[in-house]
Structure 1
Amino acid sequence: MRKGKLTFVMYLIAVMVITCFPRVGYAEGDTLFTLSKSAENALPDQALEVTVNGNNLKGLYAYEAVITFDPDVVELVKAESKLEGFFLPPKVDNGKMTIAFTKVGKKAGEQGRSALSTIAFKGKAQGNANIKLLSVKALDPSLTATVHSYGTAFDDLAGYEWANTEIEALASSGIIKGTSATTFSPGDNITRADFICLLVRALYLHVEVDGNFNDVEQSDYYYKEVGVARKLGIAQGTSDSLFEPRLSISRQDMMVVAARAMKIAGKMLDESVSDLSNFSDSSEVAAYAAGPLSQLAKEGIIQGYNGLIKPNDTAIRAEAAVIIHRLLNK
């Protein structure tokens, strides 16, 4: 790299370190950074790969990401950029890693969705590696910086480590909310209306609402989202005129509406798939749900519990967060 380019790169990195314009609240179409993992749990000497993704990017020119992991469970092997430019090798200190990247020269920033980098780990022990995205400092081509922080103050996530990363990422971006300032209530059932709200917000689905189900009032906080889902054919109700928004949603119904929403959002699924034989309780899946569940299973969006899909169980808030997070990373 020529001296002039190197100077520019170091200047950008310095800007990332010292510049901070915090991002406050949720706005429709906000940028969201997420992690997708080849596995949640590590095994000794086995590879575990993590991808840093940017969703709804608006001119990303450079970034600095801070990622944490359990150093007793995994060790870093290498990190590589998926974008063309200068990638700063990871700096690691006791389970906290910082990676940085910048484009070089007069280049347009990244738009839309993009895989930004991959990080390879090797297992040291069996267990949850607790790999989490702590923050991303993003710069646009004018070197304006925005900080995206993904830590939350929820203090009731013990026992739901399998969903912590997803809950924290979605809560910090405003897509999902806690039940109070410090609680998320991950084990509580999620209603039909609340899951529809999550889908519509997360996938940025828009259409003019010109009607709704008879049991959804204009004063209801979910009126717009349910109306959007009804018009797009995502929410079809329990009858021609009723949606029963306050009922808890079953796991199979959650997955059916998720599959419909993905197609509306242009995230195509393999409609030829219809095999659920990997799940020992597949016979309990309703006929209308078999196709969508098979499609989501093939994509890894639903993975089941010890070989069970539990289609008729009510979905809980932690499960909803994981499903929405996986949809965003499809």
Structure 2
Amino acid sequence: MTRHNWQFWLTCLLLVMMYTALPISEAAAAGNPMPSVKLELTDQDDSIELTVAADNLTDMYAYDIVLSYDPALVQFLSSSTGLTGFFVNPFTGSVPGLNGKAKLATLIFKKISTGRTMLRLTQMKLVNSYLDLQTIDPEAKVEARISTRQIYGYSRSLGRGSHY
């Protein structure tokens, strides 16, 4: 009896594993690589500009990104999208989404304290023109190092003409 019970649970486990791997294998079989994301940091005097770019997009109609950072070191100021002319069409499926590479967003942060902070893209959701949702674990991060000089915007003399 226990042997049949063990075989039953093993069969159930294998079925679950096959079912969850099916969407991944369908995408691979279709020849569509998984979308990837890249973060690029531009350090300015008193702010940080973070650009979020994606590659291998297939019919991307909408997106949602979740970013984590240390609010004790940087303060979110603004964001803009890199997608010109992008809008939500009430008739989905009639207008194709973006394919290939795209600059998704530019985020501006104000430097408020010294130290190091990791800006991490923790989650990304993509929606195609047929409203199919795809959740991606982007694994994208970039480190920002903030010095006292960058926060206050000046150099202080350390003697004998030395500046930091």
TM score, norm. by length of structure 2: 0.60
| Contiguous gaps of at least 5 residues in structure 1 | 1-22, 87-102, 152-163, 167-330
Q: Check the 8 A contact 1:67/1:131 in 2, yes or no.
A: yes
Give the 3 Å change call, closer, same or farther, for CA 133–58 of structure 1 in structure 2.
same
- 2:74 aligned residue: 74
1:96-120 deviations in Å (ceiling 9; x for gaps) = xxxxxxx335422111111011111
Q: Match of 2:141, SS? A: helix
Q: Secondary structure at the match of 1:107?
A: coil
Contact in 2 for aligned 1:34/1:53 (Cα 8 Å): yes
**How many Å apart are 1:149 and its aligned residue?**
1.3
Q: Is the 8 A contact 2:50 2:107 kept in 1?
A: yes
2:41 match: 37
1:113 aligns with 2:101: yes
Does the 8 Å CA contact 1:58/1:110 hold for their aligned counterparts? yes
Query: Tell me, what secondary structure is at the counterpart of 1:120?
Result: strand
Kindly provide the CA deviation profile for residues 241-293 of structure 1, in whole angstroms up to 9, marking residues without a partner as x: xxxxxxxxxxxxxxxxxxxxxxxxxxxxxxxxxxxxxxxxxxxxxxxxxxxxx
Match of 1:132 among 114, 120, 130: 120
In the alignment, which of 139, 148, 152 is matched to residue 136 of structure 2?
148
Maintained 8 Å contact 2:36/2:138: no
1:61 partner amino acid: Y
Q: What is the RMSD computed on CA atoms of the aligned residues?
A: 2.6
- Where is the helix percentage greater, Structure 1 or Structure 2? 1
Q: Is the 8 A contact 1:85 1:104 kept in 2?
A: no
In the TM superposition, residue 24 of structure 1 has moved relative to its aligned partner by 5.1
Deviation track 1:13-52 (CA, whole Å, cap 9, x = no partner) reads xxxxxxxxxx75995722112221114xxx9x71101111
Q: Tell whether 2:81 aligns with 1:85.
A: no
> SS at the partner of 1:165?
strand
Distance across 2 between alignment mates of 1:113 and 1:30: 12
Q: 1:165 aligns with which of 116, 132, 141?
A: 141
- 1: distance between equivalents of 2:37 and 2:89? 22
Distance 2:121 2:34 in 1: 17
Q: Distance in 2 between matches of 1:131 and 1:60?
A: 24
Which has the larger share of strand? 2
Deviations 1:77-133, CA, capped at 9 Å, x for gaps: 0011111335xxxxxxxxxxxxxxxx3354221111110111110101122231110
The answer on whether the counterparts of 1:60 and 1:139 sit within 8 Å (CA) in structure 2 is yes
2:61 is matched with 61
Q: Deviations over 1:35-81 (max 9, x none)?
A: 21114xxx9x7110111111011010011110001101100000111
**Aligned partners of 1:140 and 1:32: how far apart in 2?**
16
Q: Which has the higher contact order (CA 8 A, sep 6+)?
A: 2
Find the aligned partners of 1:80 and 1:124 in 2 and give their Cα distance. Answer: 21
Secondary structure of the structure 1 residue equivalent to 2:53: strand
Once residues 150 and 109 of structure 1 are traced to their aligned partners in structure 2, the CA distance between those partners, rounded to angstroms, is: 20
In the superposition, relative to structure 1, how do residues 72 and 165 fare at CA in structure 2: closer, same or farther (>3 Å)?
A: same
Percent identity between matched residues is 24
* Bigger Rg, which one: 2
Preserved CA contact (<8 Å) 1:34 1:133: no
